[in-house]
Each structure stands twice: as C-alpha cells, then as structure tokens.
Structure 1
C-alpha cells in the first residue's frame, strides 16, 4: 500500500505514494464501496494514492500525497475495482479544494491527514458509499484485527495490480513503533503490521484506510523502506474534531482548485 519514502534511508518518501498490498488478496469487485483512487497531476508526473469517502462531498487521505508545489489537478475515482479498465460503476470527480492539517510536517509525517472537497458530490449507490469514522473517544487497541484495501504495489520489486487488493493486519503495541521511529506519536498515530513480515501496505497505498470493525480508524502513512513490519498509520480518532470542523467549513471555502492549510 502507499507508504511515503522518508528522507532517512530506512523509510519511504511521500512522492512515491508509499504503500502497497503485499501478501494480500484480491477483494470481491465493488465490495469496498468507500474506496477512492487519487490521481495527482504534477507538471511532469502523476502520483497515485488511496483515499476513502466519508461524505458525498469529502474524501479523506494522507497529507503527504498532496504535499509540495506544482500540483496541476487532482482527480478522485470512486466505484472502481479495475482501476485501469473501463467500468460503468466508476465516478471521476475533480477535486476543487483540499485542506491539509495546519500542523502537518513532512519530518516524521506528523499530522499526515488531508480532506479533499468534491464538486459535484459523489452519487451514492451500491458501488459508491460512505465509511464511518470513530469518535474522538474511540481508540483502536493493540490486538485489533483490521484490513487495509488498495491498489498499491504487490511486491518490493515493483509488481503492480490493476484490481483492488486487501491485506489483514493487526494493531501492534505502541512500543514497537516508538523503538523504530524517532518521531512516532502514540496519540496521533497507530502502530500496525504483521510481525511475520509477510504482509503489508506499500507504495501506491498511501492515504488508504485502516478498517477495523467497519470503521476507518487509520490512514496509511509511512514505514521502513526495506522492512514490511511495522507500518505507521494516522490515528483518525485524534483528528475527529478537526475533521468535523473542516466539513462544516467546506461550504465556505475558496475558489475551485485552491489548496489550503487552514
């Protein structure tokens, strides 16, 4: 799944859309109707990331996916299974506005979260649906079994997939990530992985959800470049008040295509 390449030799950097589904399997077509595929057009390249629909006009993703200058446009694709094939279920919507968390830092991927405003709104149907978010008081605990869907790399050597795949992962004890990542923050991040190091998200999955008990509890953020275990996710419950506030502001936001960090 998409995991950002970090400046350290050990971690993945954002421009790659870090994260892939390694060790996972293809899901039943359109069985994850909240999933979004992001095509981020720069002047000289296209970056892809994951995301998920939380309101007909709002997609949640990782800030590192849209970090940097020179973004020409962002297109969100909903209702997809084969992302490179034609499907009648797909909705392609241009992002008119995006809001990066004001305290986002590419150093350690702190506050790695962004809200994308869709206009027109998504048409909700059996193939395009919303996913619920936890409240600020809901904390996913170590030992919880979760799933991460996406279209990212399927191997460290760069094998790709056209269809959505999913990997099952367990929430880990915070100490594991605190020992391996200098900037790990337990209150705003979730430590996740398969300790046998056979399954993980990787490049191309950044911004996708960590789904536990039918709710999106995390966002694929970063990890080691050459190790599959562990991975770090943005903790959504910590940001729930900020998300709520930004959704209220969406109706008042600026002109089409304008980024924001408010």
Structure 2
C-alpha cells in the first residue's frame, strides 16, 4: 500500500513533465546567468582518482545515453540528486548506472536501471541565476542489487558539522577543461560557515538550505558534471552538489543541505 501511495505522489508531482513550483518571469530569465554544476558544469577539481568500489553509493545519471549528473543511492530503487538535474527532463530519457568506475570502460560491477519518475522539491527555483531548494528524488523502474560495489548511503541524522567531508564525481577536472573525467574522482573539502561564500559567488547563500564547501580560490571542489553528486561524512549524505562560479569553477562549491530535506525525501522513499 505504501508503494502505491508513493507512486501516486510521483504522478501528482508532475514527474513526467518535469514540472515543479512555477517560477516568476524574473527568476526564469535569470536561469542562464550561473551554470549549475551538473547541467553544463561540475567534475572534481583537484582531489584524487578513486579506487574501484570506493564510493559504492555514487551513481551516474545519463540523459539520452550521455553522462549528465551524479547522484547517491539512498534506497535500492531510489536516488537523490539535484533538482536542476531532472528539471525539464522526461524520465524516459534517463538511465542510472551504479557500481561504475570509468565511463568509457565497462566493469563487471556495473548495473543500470531506467527511470520511472522523478520529483523536485516543490519550491525549487532559480534566484540570481542559481538554484535554490536544489534537491530531487528519482524512482527507478527496478532495484539495484546491493553488493560490495553497490550500496546505499544513509540520510543525515544531525545537521552538517563544519568539518572535512568527501565529494565525488565524474565532472570536469578543472574549469578550463572540457568534458567529464573518465575516472571517478574525489576530494576532501571543508564545510565552512555559510557566510564564507557571500561575496564570492552570484548571490549570498541561504543558511539551512545550502552549504558553503571548499575554498575561496577553488583549488579543490566541484566543477561541471559533478552536479547532484554526494558530499559524505561518517557514512551519511550531508550534501548534494548544486552550483558554483560559472565556467571557471575557481571558488567555493555550493551544496544543497540534505538535512533540511530529510522529511520531504522520506515522504517519497519511506524511512
């Protein structure tokens, strides 16, 4: 019965048209001003290459067969990603790959699932060209088989501490590069006071909704293609890669603060 209710909720959320809360005309006009890290932006800048199965909760989201965003497996058949990663995308165009390491090479650990539907947070929108409430859930048509290469990650049970956490993804390796990294990368990044990002990016951050992560000079952080990917600490998922500074990826990376959305996420996935 719970699954039937969840499926009904997906349909009522206009998943199949990619519709969310309507934006005002001013917000809509601002969308192109700042590229979100996944749509045309974000790999891990700096950092290191991951070893096989190091991040078994990391998934790769494809649109029309091409790598588009990252995500995190939170249930065998549910993925958490960024709202802008599903915005306007018909589920029939999407595939989710788990147990992956390199994009071009096939690994025996890989599994793939097509997408039944997705839902953005109801108040997802763009402000000053950057997304706010940038979280979304994806329901798969089947469940991934959990093993050493594919695992779920827990949602946070407490607010994000100001400590070093781990981001991972296949995004661009630096702002001047073009295209995704073939191999999964990761970086340890500090979570800073939210005010640290103010003045460095397109707008000030919203405390409680966004996390200011990384460094002002962008020596290490997210870049194009990393969007929707995880920020993890202690076996819990604290952040979703959201946006940064344009094409250059040369400053802080903004993550959606997952703790603020746990109740909404679980209204779809269950506890």
Q: TM-score, normalised by structure 2?
A: 0.81
Which residue of structure 2 aligns with residue 178 of structure 1? 198
- Distance in 2 of aligned mates of 1:70 and 1:81: 26
Which residue of structure 1 aligns with residue 170 of structure 2? 151
Q: Helix, strand or coil for the counterpart of 2:74?
A: strand
C-alpha deviation, 1:214, in angstroms = 2.1
* Kept after mapping to 1: 8 A contact 2:38/2:70: no
Structure 2 unaligned regions, length at least 5: 1-29
Shift in CA distance, 15/155, structure 1 to aligned 2, threshold 3 Å: closer
Q: Within the alignment, does 1:245 sit opposite 2:267 as a pair?
A: yes
* Kept after mapping to 1: 8 A contact 2:36/2:244: no
> Runs in 1 of length 4+ with deviation above 6 angstroms?
none
Which residue of structure 1 aligns with residue 138 of structure 2? 116
Q: Helix, strand or coil for the counterpart of 1:237?
A: helix
More helix by share: 2
- Distance in 2 of aligned mates of 1:115 and 1:163: 25
Counterpart among 64, 76, 80 of residue 60 in structure 1: 80
Which residue of structure 2 aligns with residue 193 of structure 1? 214
* Pairs within 5 Å for 1:38-187: 38-41=61-64, 46=66, 48-68=68-88, 72-107=92-127, 108-135=130-157, 138-142=158-162, 144-159=163-178, 160-180=180-200, 181-182=202-203, 184-187=205-208
Per-residue CA deviations over 1:87-145 (Å, capped at 9, x if unaligned) read 1110010011111111110333111011000121111111100111113xx11133x00
C-alpha deviation, 1:200, in angstroms = 1.3
Q: Which is further off, 102-111 or 176-185?
A: 176-185
* Pairs within 5 Å for 1:10-49: 11-13=34-36, 16-41=39-64, 46=66, 48-49=68-69
Structure 1 unaligned regions, length at least 5: 250-262
Which residue of structure 2 aligns with residue 215 of structure 1? 236
Shift in CA distance, 170/106, structure 1 to aligned 2, threshold 3 Å: same
Q: Helix, strand or coil for the counterpart of 1:64?
A: helix
Shift in CA distance, 164/93, structure 1 to aligned 2, threshold 3 Å: same
Q: Within the alignment, does 1:232 sit opposite 2:254 as a pair?
A: yes
* Kept after mapping to 1: 8 A contact 2:160/2:238: yes
Q: Helix, strand or coil for the counterpart of 2:187?
A: strand
* Kept after mapping to 2: 8 A contact 1:17/1:65: no
- Distance in 1 of aligned mates of 2:59 and 2:198: 30
- Distance in 1 of aligned mates of 2:35 and 2:171: 14
Shift in CA distance, 15/62, structure 1 to aligned 2, threshold 3 Å: closer
* Kept after mapping to 1: 8 A contact 2:44/2:186: yes
Shift in CA distance, 218/81, structure 1 to aligned 2, threshold 3 Å: same
Q: Helix, strand or coil for the counterpart of 1:210?
A: strand
Q: Helix, strand or coil for the counterpart of 2:93?
A: strand
* Kept after mapping to 2: 8 A contact 1:57/1:120: yes
* Kept after mapping to 2: 8 A contact 1:131/1:215: yes
